[in-house]
Structure 1
Amino acid sequence: MSARVLVTGAYRGIGAACALAFAATGARVALADIRKPDETAISAVQAGATETLTLACDVSDEGSVAAIGEVVQQTFGGLDIVVHCAGVIHEAALLETPVADFDRVIAINLRGSFLVGKMALGLMGGTAEEPARLIMIASDMAYYGRETFSPYVASKHGVLGLVRSWAKEFAPRVLVNAICPGPIDTEMLGAANMSAEWRARELAIPLARFGKPEEIAELAWFLAGSGGRYFTGQGIGSNGGSIMP
């Protein structure tokens, strides 16, 4: 039977790469995103997937997340793999950060992770022999912190807390892990979201380059497959050496 997969933030960046990677295996793939449907991304997934769903979702809104869960349940009958990629980044000095900006980052990155994870875990079966997989996207910054990114760092550190708690609560039938990317070449590291100074600092790592979304997707595919059977509660870095815990 084809794996039943949900990817959030699925139209761009890491989410699009993950959706494409699972579609290439013939999975049934649900694409969830707050953006307008991206026909290029959807067509690429449809070319490989056994079945494709496109779902509008604001991950910070409980009703919106519940609604996509209902559609997935009705169409797929449950979930085997979830990769939660939806998120935002925010750069500003603390004393110049309005509370509203903090609330927005926490709402999308941390509340969104809680809502999507809760919905997904409610739809997952899984057994000790064939566990379901929940994979959250955190960040290397969750480990080392960074000045002028405190709301983002706090939100991603919180994601690791959810992962560790859920890994214990749902073992052994669901394996729950986080991927903690370093600098990845997506819109989030673009000029609109990050200063030139910080983009340069992102490159001051041992591998001296931005990672590719496809490299994160390959790690997600590994965690969801037979090679990931002994991983749970982990924050796994694909980061070019930015952090070496």
Structure 2
Amino acid sequence: MKTTKILSALLLVLTISTAANAYIIPGQGPGGGPIDNGRPPGYIPPNDGDRNNSRPPQYQPPRNDNNNGWGRGDDRGHGGGNHGGGWGPRPQPQSYYPPTQPYYPPQPAPYYPPTQPYYPPNPPPAPQYPQVVAIPVYVGRSVSNERIQLSSLANLAAYSGYRILAVTARTTPNSPSTTLVRLAVDENVIATQTNPGYQVNLMPVTTYLSSYSNLELWINGSTYIESIEVQLQR
């Protein structure tokens, strides 16, 4: 029984080997092409640097340069299956271009109107101080019971609108009797001083001059007057 099984296995192996050799034509390779030096077309010899010949021989189908770039293709070929068998265009390498970002035009710069140069404000006006005018009148003589016309001697018509601040005089007594000095505007007495001695100081109440005002200094008695000064304020 055991011997019969062994003989059957040997017979099966012999039958398969005979059937395989029946499709190989002498002088041709498995693909039907001529054998080059005993090697079928597309045969790649083992690497010469591989001393152990560990890489087995590889078979590649023959290249047909007359098919205009058509050869045994992959599953994209005409009539091929999942693993080839048809004819199709050779796959070409595809150039990779990274996707470009959309172009957005730059935003215009905001418009700012030109600014006006800065000019500092004008300084505040200086405080208005009263303008005081002192008008001297030279006399240089002894005066007795006399009226001195200050309006004409001091040209007071040019000072219309000014206020009379004071009238002073440098005097020297020359009489033992009483001497009375008065200041009058248009016959109206506005200041009086008795026995002035060496200095007359007459400061009237608020009185303004006009272009026709008549200012006089009345002397009742006798005194020597060197000079008179009329002080006005604007």
Query: Which structure has more strand as a fraction of its residues?
Result: 2
Q: Shorter-chain TM-score: which interval?
A: under 0.3
Query: Which structure has more helix as a fraction of its residues?
Result: 1
Computing the radius of gyration over CA atoms, which structure comes out larger, 1 or 2?
A: 2
The normalised TM-score by structure 1 is 0.22
